[in-house]
Amino acid sequence: MSELSEAEKRRILRERRQKKFSNGGASSRLNQITGQTEKSFLSTESPLDSRSSTPSTPTPAPTNNEQSTKQMEELLASISAPSSASKGNKPKSEGSSNPQMDLFAQLAKMQQSDANESTPDTPDIFAQLLKSVQQQESAQSSSEPPADAAMIEAHNKKVNKLKAFTVLIKWLFFLTPYIIYITNPAHNVVGSSLLDSMLKRSNFFTVFTSFEVVAISVYYQILLSVEKSHKVNTLQSNSKILQLVSMVPEGLIPIRDLRGKASLALQYWDVLSMYLTDLCFALVLMGVLHRFYYAF
Amino acid sequence: MDLTVERNLHSLITSTTHKWIFVGGKGGVGKTTSSCSIAIQMALAQPNKQFLLISTDPAHNLSDAFGEKFGKDARKVTGMDNLSCMEIDPSAALKDMNDMAVAQNNQSEGLGDLLQGGALADLTGSIPGIDEALSFMEVMKHIKRQEEGEGERFDTVIFDTAPTGHTLRFLQLPQTLSQLLDKFGEIAGKFGPMLNSLAGGAQNMDIMGKMNELKGNVEKIKQQFTDPDLTTFVCVCISEFLSLYETERLIQELISYDMDVNSIIVNQLLFAEYDNEHNCRRCQARWKMQKKYLDQIDELYEDFHVVKMPLCAGEIRGLKNLKKFSQFLDKEYNPESDNKVIYELEEQN
């Protein structure tokens, strides 16, 4: 039999080594080591056994280059847990109502465990940047498959249509008749006392604001169901500000959860702009009607 | 088919393909001694090739190990024509960066004044992970220099790494940078012209071009680090529980990065039963403990080059001592016949 070349021998040995570390072998090796002492508190969870199955590099090696440790998977699970009730395998105490807070809590926990396992290092910027990038990528791939451009376009069309319909219904079927009625100098309220108080001119802002709250809530409910069915987040896929903010690595600016805060601010702005648009419409209509009533 | 694995590093020492050799492990196990030994043995075995030993540990030991001062530029070891050493000094590198920034901004008054006195160096120096980043930049610089044929060419670079945590972060950097650059690339695609105009038309900086160049370099390093013919990692440990545990975890992490790791150096072994002159009770007890973990190492790492190195009577410092000690990497230490060497090390002042 011919002699093996040095390179070939190295390759065979490498494959043999990798085989020993695969299929749970890595954890059992750690178990074997910790089993040597009676009392060991060291973790026997292997970074290899918890790797995700999707390869990230074109190399045919059995392991991949991704940094998806078990801790990372746990982190992602905890982030996606509040959004899907079916994935409720995490204890309730860990899944608070704010996924961003969960993320920070988990990052702090991971950093702590890292420090305990190896050296007591301070958290470094590169590890955190990697984690934030991977978190974004994995969150997209695990909880919400990335929507393609066509889907986003269709979604945007539907959302615009919904917004237009909402405005039309509000303006045509509520605001216009209501303002015509209250601006009419000859308007006389008869009937129940509730209706009477509602149609008083002095109660305009109360009635208007109450209506806006109901109308905007209904609009957002419908928008959420559309987003759920399309698996597209309208704000995230359309807002340039949010896209820019998401590129700022966590930790560079001394504001925690900058992206979450920006997203919240934009949502408030969206609500406020709807309210202001309706108010402007009401004021313009009032001016026109006032002129109409007193001109003739 | 002969697949027995030699209990020495002969194949690595005589390897003509390896460009990057990392030596790492837990703190205090003898990483610097081992990396110096590997470098010396390689330089002796291949006199026509040039070797560079770089310390990426922020607490540098190379100068003390060889007994001569090395700095941020590669300098030949006295007495060896083909072995150079360098210690990357983060504070000096950051000072250079600061000075460059001051020079570039001396026309714009505000920024230049602000950076005077090393403000940038102070600021960036406090970022955790900056040592690893600078070491990585050094690797990139080295690759670029080799491609352009500038400066001194080194055939193999040996890294004397920092304790495990730092080293893993260093090895993670190509992956991290690659992913970050992908992300930046996405934004740059959309806002590239805006970024260019923000950078200043006068300087005519092509940000996109620079990013692509950096990305290309990072990808190249990533590729080289995961090629077992070019890169390998030598784990150093001592025969004790915590060291063994950390070595196993290190190996598993390295495998998860697709890095080749096939050699383990077990340092500070007593071989008490072969030492008739100095065989005290304490040595016997300790050797018994060491043997217990050695048995486990043999069992766990039968497909690895496990090299068992003796605990010497004196400090292994200076080229002569290192040469003497390092011979056991090439030809395994025989406690019966080589016993006298451990008492032969010269005192270094």
Q: What is the pLDDT of residue A120?
A: 42
CB nearest to B1's CB, from A4, A29, A114: A4
Q: How confident is the model at residue A60 (pLDDT cuts 50, 70, 90)?
A: very low
Domains of chain A, residue spans: 149-295
- Asked if the structure places residue B96 within a domain, the reply is no
pLDDT of B275 higher than 60:
yes
CB contact under 8 A, A124 and B132: yes
CB contact under 8 A, B258 and A114: no
pLDDT 10s digits, B74-110? 899 999 999 999 887 666 666 666 676 666 655 555 5
Q: How confident is the model at residue B345 (pLDDT cuts 50, 70, 90)?
A: confident
Which residues in chain B are closer than 8 Å to A1, comparing Cβ atoms? 1
The CATH number assigned to the domain holding B306 equals 3.40.50.300
Average pLDDT, chain B: 82
pLDDT of B67 higher than 90:
yes
pLDDT 10s digits, A226-235? 888 877 777 7
Averaged pLDDT for residues A210-219: 90
Cross-sheet strand order for the sheet of B231-238:
B75-76, B83-87, B51-55, B156-160, B20-25, B231-238, B261-269, B305-310
B127 contacts chain A (CB < 8 A): yes
Which residues in chain B are closer than 8 Å to A72, comparing Cβ atoms? none
How far away is chain A from the Cα of B225, in angstroms, using its nearest Cα? 11
The B residues from 201 to 240 touching A (CB cutoff 8 Å) are 222, 226, 228-229
- Asked if the structure places residue B120 within a domain, the reply is no
Query: Percent of chain B beyond pLDDT 90?
Result: 45
pLDDT of B225 higher than 70:
yes
- Count CB neighbours of A188 within 10 A: 6
DSSP annotation of B272: G
- Count CB neighbours of A231 within 10 A: 13
Question: Residue B228 is encoded by which pair of tokens?
Answer: 């077992």
Averaged pLDDT for residues B268-280: 84
Read off the pTM. Answer: 0.59
CB contact under 8 A, B246 and A13: no
Q: How confident is the model at residue B325 (pLDDT cuts 50, 70, 90)?
A: very high
Q: How confident is the model at residue B134 (pLDDT cuts 50, 70, 90)?
A: confident
pLDDT of B294 higher than 80:
yes
What ipTM was assigned to the predicted interfaces of this complex?
0.77
Q: What total number of domains does chain B contain?
A: 1
Averaged pLDDT for residues B205-214: 68
The listed range with the strongest mean pLDDT (A63-72, B44-53, B151-160, B271-280) is B44-53
pLDDT of B251 higher than 70:
yes
Q: What is the pLDDT of residue B33?
A: 96
Task: List C-alpha distances in Å: B50 to A125, A137, B13, B66, B232.
Answer: 35, 43, 13, 18, 18
CB nearest to B165's CB, from A67, A121, A137: A121
CB contact under 8 A, B256 and A42: no
pLDDT of A289 higher than 70:
yes
The listed range with the strongest mean pLDDT (A51-60, A176-185, B74-83, B136-145) is B74-83
How far away is chain B from the Cα of A33, in angstroms, using its nearest Cα? 6
Check if the beta carbon of residue B78 is closer than 8 Å to that of residue B49: no
Q: How confident is the model at residue B188 (pLDDT cuts 50, 70, 90)?
A: low
Q: What is the full DSSP assignment across A82-150?
A: GG-GGG--S-TTTS-S-HHHHHHHHHHHHHHHHHHHS--PPP-HHHHHHHHHHHHHHHHHHTSPPPPHH
Q: Phi and psi at residue B77, in whole multiples of 5°?
A: -75, 130
CB nearest to B11's CB, from A6, A20, A122: A6
- Asked if the structure places residue B302 within a domain, the reply is yes
Q: How confident is the model at residue A190 (pLDDT cuts 50, 70, 90)?
A: low
CB contact under 8 A, B244 and A33: yes
Q: What is the pLDDT of residue B346?
A: 65
- Asked if the structure places residue B239 within a domain, the reply is yes
- Asked if the structure places residue B73 within a domain, the reply is yes
How far away is chain B from the Cα of A77, in angstroms, using its nearest Cα? 21
Structural domain range at position B285: 9-90+130-347
B26 is in an annotated binding site: yes
- Count CB neighbours of A8 within 10 A: 11
Lowest mean pLDDT among B86-95, B203-212, B237-246, B288-297: B203-212
